[in-house]
């Protein structure tokens, strides 16, 4: 059983890393696909939600970014990364409202 869990963890991590690579290459739809697959396998994978939030922010999908960040904070309420990204999201929303 331990071997299976270790293999599953590896698969989850690989999918998240593929999402990160696609994110860096600017292929955001593929990045989202792979990150979501890692979340399907491990719904408590904080780093996957964090990466998903970053991708959504990058492409202007603020509601989805906010939802992913809320999930990060639900999993780990003291996550400094999530709190910083939440502030950035709030600033972006404020700026976009000022431009309308």
Confidence (pLDDT) at 86:
78
Count of domains observed in the chain: 1
Predicted pLDDT at 36 = 94
**Residue 33 domain boundaries:** 2-99
Nearest to 90 by CA among 65, 72, 58, 59: 65
Q: What is the mean pLDDT of residues 58-78?
A: 88
Q: What is the pLDDT of residue 70?
A: 86
CB neighbours of residue 38 within 10 Å = 24
Please determine, for residue 56, whether its predicted confidence score (pLDDT) is greater than 90.
Answer: yes
Region 54-65: mean pLDDT is 90
Give me the CATH number covering residue 47.
1.25.40.10
Range of weakest confidence among 1-5, 14-18, 46-50: 1-5
Cβ atoms within 10 A of the Cβ of 8, count? Answer: 12
Of 5 and 55, the structure prediction assigns the larger pLDDT to: 55
Q: Distance between CA atoms of 70 and 82, rounded to whole angstroms? A: 8
């Amino acid at each position: 059983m331990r071997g299976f869990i270790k293999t599953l963890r590896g698969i989850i991590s690989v999918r998240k890393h593929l999402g990160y690579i696609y994110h860096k290459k600017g292929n955001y739809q593929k990045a989202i696909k792979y990150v979501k697959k890692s979340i399907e396998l491990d719904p408590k994978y904080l780093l996957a939600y964090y990466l998903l939030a970053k991708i959504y922010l990058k492409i202007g999908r603020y509601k989805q970014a906010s939802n992913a960040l809320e999930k990060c904070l639900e999993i780990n309420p003291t996550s400094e990364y999530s709190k910083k990204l939440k502030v950035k999201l709030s600033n972006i929303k404020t700026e976009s409202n000022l431009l309308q």
